[in-house]
Amino acid sequence: MGKLAKLIEKFLRDPPELNYDDVYYVLTKFGFQKVSSKGSHHTLRNDEGLKITVPKKGGKMVKRIYLKQIVSLLKLEEWKNEN
């Protein structure tokens, strides 16, 4: 199992928070690029125009509510079933 698959497993376990670097890694693997950064909020967008803003708690962690949004936006449950 590769790094991306392991991180997706973490997302789907519904953790209270995850490391920002792991969240950023997953988003970039799904084609997202950082378009702006204002304080602790980082906005990423993909070629299809989908956009998500991810705040970093204490500069390092992303809370569960944003993880759920990412799971929904990227359809990670479907991705897991296909791979």
Could you report the average pLDDT of every consecutive run of 10 residues in the chain (83 residues)? 90 92 95 90 93 85 93 91 83
Give the domain ranges of the chain.
Answer: 3-82
Q: Which CATH class is domain 3-82?
A: alpha beta
- pTM equals 0.90
Q: Give the Cα separation of 23 and 67 in Å (integer).
A: 8
Q: Give the Cα separation of 51 and 66 in Å (integer).
A: 13
pLDDT of residue 74: 93
Q: Give the Cα separation of 3 and 43 in Å (integer).
A: 23
pLDDT of residue 1: 66
